[in-house]
Amino acid sequence: MDYNSLFRPSTMAVIGVSTSQGSHPANVIYNKNHLRYPVKVFPVNPKGGTLSREVLYKSVEDIPEPVDLAVIAVRSRFVPEVMEQCIRKGVKGAVVISGGFAEVGNQDIQDRMVELSRQANFPFIGPNCLGIFSPHAVDTFFLPGERIIHPKKGNVGFISQSGGVLIDQMVKFAGQGIGISSAVSIGNKAMVREADLLQWFANDPQTAVIAFYIEGFEQGEGRTFVQLVEQCNKPVIVLKAGKSEQGVSAVSSHTASLAGDYRVFSEVMAQHCVAEALNEYELTSFAEALSCYPEGSKGNVGIVSLSGGHGAVSADACAQHGLSLPSPSPETVEAIKTRLGEQVRDIVSLNNPIDLTGSVTDRDLVTTARHLSRDDGIDCILMLLLPYSPGVSADIGAKLARVYQDEGKPMIAYVPNEDKYAIIIEGFELNNIPVASSVEGAVMMAKALKRCTP
């Protein structure tokens, strides 16, 4: 099924707009899209009239133009009737943000919606959800625009059963400079489910990485999901809720999902090359790394540091997460050592991790990264930069990015996330090199590359 009209609509009807309550969710959605997005928006309320001098249509069927997407924000008992109107109008799909369905025991209303949808081949997201955010295209979230932190446009597609997790993850993505192609909160996922969206994002040319927050699957649905992952040529990341007895209970009351056996889920995901993130921190790191290097790696990491302590911390983290630290070949060691500056040549450690000491210069860092990139035993390089070192310039990010462009070996940087180091971070990120704000985060990114090799 083609969901392009859901994620990148040209026209949209917002059904349930209030004439008296400006903060009503439907009004928030209408105003935001009417003022800030290229989609043409039509407000709908059974009373009709006007809203801010715009015609307020009594029904979606009264709108004189074709409608790609309907956002339905009426009381649950009225949703099936509104959906029938949308089907008669020829609307291509809907987002149902209304709550009050299976999550509170009203399964019959939700079943009626699904029956209508399947009979008419009418896809809808939700109910009980925030819906869809596509940068520069559409935003059905009923949250004021000034309250939301939007990530830039990028290549990560994110699907979440929870609207709250979705919004919080968007904040984390924005803070790390991760761009998204689209983000969708599916709530009760009564009709459009994870497997459907996996197929759509797998074929979406704007998406390179597909990330999920999953609370549970219906009986047999997990098997279908795994089979589709096997056919997908893009990396897939999953953060699963319901790992504990308490978590299972919370999942059931949230969106009426079956959490299932987490141990079995985790083992199956690992077998089928899904990068399972254990928490939101890992999800962010995984998404950033794989958005830059979707091809993955074997997990043989070369570490370059300006501090022996940072090297030791990163080595421990690599061991904890199943990453190997092979020794550079004798040829690599000789090539690096003969080209280092005299001030560091006799005091560095060229084992793995490589410690270039605080006396290092840009030239030493570039030399080391270049020759380590040519070592066949290393398939990913961690550059742990301490920008306070006097010999390191503000251009070091751009200079090391040139090494990556020339050699093609995945590089991950650690730079403290401070405004005064922004130019260094930009030097990496503008050249598609992920930057972590902690040593642990850099190791998490390397872990993602090993966990997910399509």
How many whole angstroms separate alpha carbon 302 and alpha carbon 324?
9
Tell me how far CA of residue 242 lies from CA of 263, 306, 377, in angstroms.
Answer: 11, 41, 39
- Residue 33's Cα: distance from chain center in Å? 22
Evaluate whether 1-126 and 296-451 have a shared fold: yes
Could you write out the three-class secondary structure of 246-285?
Answer: HHHHHHHHHHCCCCCCHHHHHHHHHHCCCEEECCHHHHHH
User: What count of other Cβ atoms lies within 10 Å of the Cβ of residue 53?
Assistant: 5
Write the pLDDT tens digit of every residue in 170-219.
Answer: 999 999 999 999 999 999 999 999 999 999 999 999 999 999 999 888 88
Can you give the pLDDT at residue 360? 95
pLDDT average, residue stretch 233-250: 72
Amino acid letter, residue 170: M
**84 pairs with which residues across the strands?**
none
| Domain ranges across the chain | 1-126, 149-292, 296-451
| 362-373 and 396-407 helices, crossing angle to 10° | 20
Output phi, psi for 32, to 5 deg: -60, -50
Of the listed ranges 62-71, 114-123, 242-251, 277-286, the least confidently predicted one is 242-251
Domain 1-126 sits in CATH at 3.40.50.720
In this predicted structure, what is the pLDDT of residue 33? 96
Query: Quick one: DSSP state of residue 301?
Result: E
Regarding predicted confidence, which is higher, 229 or 336? 336
For 149-292, the fitting CATH number among 2.30.33.40, 3.20.20.80, 3.40.50.261, 3.40.640.10 is 3.40.50.261
Q: How many CB atoms lie within 10 A of CB 281?
A: 14
Cis peptide before 353 (omega within 30 of 0): yes
pLDDT at 168 over 90: yes
Q: Residue 181 carries which DSSP code?
A: E
Alpha carbon of 327 to those of 205, 332, 351: distances in Å? 39, 10, 6
Distance CA 449, CA 324 (A): 13
pLDDT digits (tens, 9 = 90+) for 348-399: 999 999 999 999 999 999 999 999 999 999 999 999 998 888 999 999 999 9
Selecting from 3.30.70.20, 3.40.50.980, 1.10.645.10, 3.40.50.261, what CATH number does the domain 296-451 have?
3.40.50.261
| Residues 285/444, Cβ–Cβ less than 8 Å | yes
Task: Kindly report the average pLDDT of the chain as a whole number.
Answer: 92
Q: Which residue is listed with tokens 């999942």?
A: 251
Give the pLDDT confidence score for residue 248 in this predicted structure: 46
DSSP string covering 343-380: HHHTT-B-SSSEE--TT--HHHHHHHHHHHHT-TT--E
Share of the chain above pLDDT 90, in %: 81
Q: Lay out the sheet containing 93-96: strands in order across.
A: 40-44, 11-15, 69-72, 93-96, 124-125
Q: Is the pLDDT of residue 273 over 80?
A: no
Question: Length of the chain, please?
Answer: 454
Q: Can you give the pLDDT at residue 265? A: 76
How confident is the model at residue 254, as a pLDDT? 42
What was the pLDDT predicted at 256?
Answer: 44
Check residue 249 and give its pLDDT.
47
Q: Which pLDDT score is estimated for 2?
A: 80
Query: Average of pLDDT values for 95-124?
Result: 96
Provide the pLDDT for residue 245.
Answer: 54
Q: Which of 348, 301, 349, 304 lies closest to 326 in space, CA to CA?
A: 301
| Position 247 pLDDT exceeds 80 | no
β-strand pairing of 275-277 with 236-240: parallel
pLDDT at 51 over 90: no
pTM of the entire predicted model: 0.90
pLDDT (mean) for 84-108:
96
